[in-house]
Amino acid sequence: MYEDVKAQLHGRPRKKIANNTYLELDVMDSDKINMYLHGNRIASFTKNHITLSHAGWYTRTTKDRLNLALELANMLNVIYQHKWQWYISGIYKQHEQKFYGGIQLRYDRTIRG
């Protein structure tokens, strides 16, 4: 959840968490944490939900970092690829859905909006 991600910052405004990947407090909203890959925001964490984006890059690294974002937030969802299409799983396979940029997941693992 949000507090788990915030704890990763250890009180700092920015922290490197993987190669070319950073967590950063949002300068306009102190209750929001963003994840950047090569300077592109690929995830935003708020107290209620997480927003995920491929930022236009359908790469293995982007998918890996999005899965890292889900892991940091203690979400059980997984983003995977099948026949060139990205999907996000739910708790059970029947809850899978096509992944799209800007998808928002509540921390109870339901899609927002």
Does the residue 97 lie in any domain?
A: yes
Element containing residue 52 per DSSP (H, E): strand 49-52
Per the structure, the complete domain to which residue 15 belongs is given by 2-106
Does the residue 111 lie in any domain?
A: no
pLDDT at 89 (0 to 100):
85
Does the residue 113 lie in any domain?
A: no
Q: Work out how many domains the chain is built from and give that number.
A: 1
Does the residue 96 lie in any domain?
A: yes
Cα dihedral 17, 15, 112, 29, rounded to 10, equals -170
Does the residue 99 lie in any domain?
A: yes
Q: What does pTM read for this prediction? A: 0.91
* Tens digits of residue pLDDT in 61-104: 999 999 999 999 998 889 999 999 999 987 555 567 889 999 99
Does the residue 112 lie in any domain?
A: no
d(CA 13, CA 6) in angstroms, rounded, equals 10
Does the residue 43 lie in any domain?
A: yes
The pair of three-digit structure tokens given for residue 89, joined into one six-digit string? 């799983």
Rounded average pLDDT over 35-64: 96
The pair of three-digit structure tokens given for residue 63, joined into one six-digit string? 């998918």
* Tens digits of residue pLDDT in 1-31: 899 999 999 999 999 999 999 999 999 998 9
Specify the DSSP class assigned to residue 28.
S
